[in-house]
Amino acid sequence: MPFSALHLPAPLLKAVHELGYTAPTRIQAQAIPLILAGKDIIGQSQTGSGKTAAFGLPMLAKIVPGRLQGLILTPTRELCIQVSDALRGFAKHTRLRITPVFGGVGIGPQIQAARFAEVIVATPGRLLDLMERGLRLSTVTYLVLDEADRMLDMGFIDDVERIIRQIPKQRQTLLFSATLSPRLQSLVHKHMHAPVTIQTELRVDTSLLTERAYPVEMSDKLSLLAHLLKHETPGVAIVFCRTRHGCDKVAKRLRAQHIDATAIHGGLAQNKRTRVIESLHQSKLGVLVATDVASRGLHIENISHVYNYDIPGTPDDYVHRIGRTARAGAKGDAVTFVSPQEAHDFKNILRTVKREVLFSPLPKFERIVLPPSQFVHGKPSHHPQGGKHRKFWKRH
């Protein structure tokens, strides 16, 4: 089915064609007609499914110039920028103005731009700041909660509730989330009117994705990672760590091994985060060491490898991490480092997501010797390549 069959206005179809879109994805084909018909929507789909166009195109089709009508809430600065950039691309042949609103940068220009916008894409905290300075949401008729589960995980749900209370009840509400927890279901019942649920395939398409795991001591993870990045990783790689401190440590140690690695997490200033992503896009080479903010919030192309340096905190995080690679017809690798201390959690994750990932034998790698106080995680091991746990891995 072509996009022309979805009955979108000609200016939007022209932009879609110029952007290289051919046929709508499954969630686009299902959501766009329902949104155009005025239905509230609950959309569940995997990362990379095209949900921004699924809610953005029909919303732009219904908005007219002259006043604020569309509000999209996102959990992270990166996703805010990504969504606003996508909407600007769709709206380039219209007179609609889309304004991103997020923290980490000066608030003055955002206050001015929001006064004249038809659509605001915002993180909850910064939007509340603008509301305290006089921004009114009384004309909003389309509300989108993008990655609502992530907003809940990050503690923003109370802010979201405060914002929703300032929006007219006569509106169309669109919620997109990978999962629907009891707290989100409560929000749905409270703020949505007879929503239609759209659920596309949530599992990762493994036809182009290779997954493997290495049984490795905590103290050997950095050495193994450096070896794989030097010898087996073309293009762009993302290394996932659980904490900001871990990201900074890993990136610093990789740079000491002459590997072009940069840490990115919520503790960095927005302009630096933006420069990092732009640099990766331009060079198409490099290593990004990131917290889980990057698994959903960043738009990065040509990722050849994803490395789970730390085991993800939840099964959903695992799915979203590995979903960053093997996109747009390209092959990709997802590699997980599993220490003996993490083996039980990793087994539970695989059971939950119904996947089988085999342990691969460790390659020969040169150990990076660090002073004990400078190990990234754990304590130094005196058993190279997991010697004292060899029987443990054999059993598992």
Domain boundaries, the chain: 3-199, 209-395
**For residue 191, what are the CA distances in angstroms to 153, 163, 195, 322?**
19, 12, 10, 33
Asked if 337 and 221 touch (Cβ cutoff 8 Å), the reply is yes
Integer-rounded Cα Rg, in Å, for the chain is: 22
CA–CA separation, 385 and 377 (whole Å): 15
Calpha distance 317→187 (Å, rounded): 22
> How many degrees, rounded to 5, is the angle at CA 202 between CA 196 and CA 203?
165
Tokens 């490795």: give the residue: 216
Domain 209-395: give its CATH architecture: 3-Layer(aba) Sandwich (3.40)
Q: Where are the beta strands (DSSP E) in the chain?
A: 41-44, 70-73, 98-101, 119-122, 142-146, 172-176, 196-199, 209-215, 236-240, 261-264, 286-290, 303-308, 332-338
Distance, CA of 100 to CA of 288 (rounded, Å): 24
From 216, 215, 222, select the one nearest 368 (Cα to Cα).
Answer: 222
Token representation of residue 173: 């509400």
Asked whether 368 and 253 are in contact (CB, 8 A), the reply is yes
Beta bridge partners of 200: none
CATH of domain 3-199: 3.40.50.300
Q: What is the pLDDT along the chain (396 residues), one digit of tens a residue?
A: 788 899 999 999 999 999 888 889 889 999 999 999 999 999 987 666 788 999 999 999 999 999 999 999 999 888 899 899 999 999 999 999 999 999 988 999 999 999 999 999 999 999 999 999 999 999 999 999 998 988 887 889 899 999 999 999 999 999 998 778 788 889 999 999 999 999 875 455 567 889 999 999 999 999 999 999 999 887 789 999 999 899 999 999 999 999 999 888 766 666 676 777 777 766 667 899 998 865 565 667 778 899 999 999 888 888 888 888 877 667 889 999 999 999 999 999 999 988 889 899 999 999 988 755 554 554 443 334 444 444 444 444
Would the pTM of this model clear 0.75, i.e. be above it?
A: no
